[in-house]
A and B are shown apart, each in its own frame.
Chain A
């Protein structure tokens, strides 16, 4: 029996007066990849930004409903703690331009002034980079700036940076949309490995990507949760007409 690690209950989100998410209830299974699929503007990015409380940083943004991490409402926790437990990787690779590769990986510790012993730091850097399948490519350049890497390498560096904080859940917001097919394949491969240790929520508008790597798929349309189920089922026998139309490429 799979256990639920993260769960939303009637989650709604607003930008000012505009309601962009309409009462979404979803459960995420531990150590699985759940894909959030939908055309652009459907609210999928907003949705995962509500999970780690990034949505509230936008002026005039508002959230209703609950998000439970192992049964605990993240909106009653300290937001910085939530974000350390639920890591995030963005569309555009965003390593810190003033830091070396090494410092980028342990940025979460450095910026939070968490003291690490040298050996501890070395371990975390090596471990995280290995998990992100980047270690072999950069182990001789650890003290070079992260911005000199290629786009795909930068994105894996960002994944390593998120993993270094040992999160329970990793949110990936269209992590490959700015990358070429080769770099994309590498990151998709990586996710297979990663889900052994961390639960993954993947936002994508790439239908193929969702079908290749996710265990569960949620389809969002115009801020509503249209369909949710095991990926196999959603892709072969969709219950809703809109899902079917989207999957055969009728819109979006």
Chain B
């Protein structure tokens, strides 16, 4: 039993190191949250949420245009990516081993891996360049490309977990294949699918890079999807990089709103998956 003491000592030291390093990995998160909320909560009030930003040198002002812009962008992105994504996900779960599915999975993986800034370039080339101007539409399309792989993958995984005997039960009642998918399989998977969509939305709502040269930003309120819009992350970026304290204050406030939005998306997504969980 040579060196048993040393071995035990090593074991303890290792455990201590693991706990310490784990704590260290989470510390920045606490620091960032603490700092953001300390700076940002002060900025938030009704005027902040309902007013437009004021020009440099003028106190007050709000971020209503960015909230509306983020809403517009997320709506456009969802309208494009949800139907295509869910349908492609159904294809994958229904045709698990076909070569088309294998190929599609690789495609989706690559789409998911593309850096968001490159997706910005793609949307610029497709929409901004032919249209000749920045627009909410181009920003929405950029975000749709980011959201699409999330929806496809998630839908496939959710539908895969639905027991095959449900499909058999429906088919054995003489229900045609397409009705079986639409009326039996999709309803059984809907909590998971919706939960994945919410997760995707909260992911894209915080994206800045794809919007830099698509939605571009706008000092004014805009509901027209053919024109540039502001968005929460864009506003944070532009004001954070500005030298004015008043604008930085707005940026901190917007950061809190954005974090809360993303958190809400995540929490609701989990709740949906849990609450509506279908018991098989």
Contacts and interface: CB of A to CB of B under 8 A. Distances in A.
Interface of A: 52, 54, 57, 59, 80-85, 87-88, 90, 92, 94-98, 107-108, 110-113, 145, 147, 158, 161-162, 165
Interface residues of B, number: 22
Interface string B141-180: 0000000000000000000000101101111111110011
Contacts of B183: 110-111
- Smallest CB-CB A-B distances: 8 pairs: A84-B174, A83-B174, A108-B173, A88-B172, A111-B175, A94-B169, A94-B165, A80-B174
Given A97-B188, A98-B188, A111 B165 contact: no
Contacts of B175: 80, 108, 111-112
Given A145-B279, A147-B280, A96 B184 contact: yes
A81 B174 contact: yes
Contacts of A85: 174
Contacts of B179: 111-113
30 contacts: A57-B171, A82-B174, A83-B171, A83-B172, A83-B173, A85-B174, A88-B172, A90-B165, A92-B165, A94-B163, A94-B165, A94-B168, A95-B169, A96-B169, A96-B188, A97-B278, A97-B279, A98-B187, A98-B188, A98-B278, A108-B175, A110-B183, A111-B170, A111-B179, A111-B180, A112-B173, A112-B174, A147-B279, A158-B169, A161-B173
Contacts of A96: 166, 169-170, 184, 188
- Interface centre among B174, B179, B279, by most chain A C-beta atoms within 10 angstroms, is B174
A78 B266 CA distance: 46
Main secondary structure of the interface of B (DSSP, over half): helix
Contact of B176 (A80, A88, A92): A80
A97 B174 contact: no
A84 B179 CA distance: 15
Nearest to B163: A94
Contacts, number: 76
A85 B172 CA distance: 10
Given A97-B278, A110-B183, A111-B184, 13 more contacts: A57-B168, A80-B176, A83-B171, A90-B168, A96-B169, A97-B188, A98-B184, A98-B187, A108-B175, A111-B180, A112-B174, A113-B179, A147-B279
A221 to B, nearest CB: 26
- Interface centre among A59, A82, A112, A158, by most chain B C-beta atoms within 10 angstroms, is A112
Contacts of B279: 97, 145, 147
B173 A165 contact: yes
A185 B191 CA distance: 38
Nearest to A164: B173
Nearest to A113: B179
Contact of A162 (B163, B173, B280): B173
Nearest to B176: A80
B181 to A, nearest CB: 11
A31 B279 CA distance: 36
A147 B166 CA distance: 12
A239 to B, nearest CB: 34
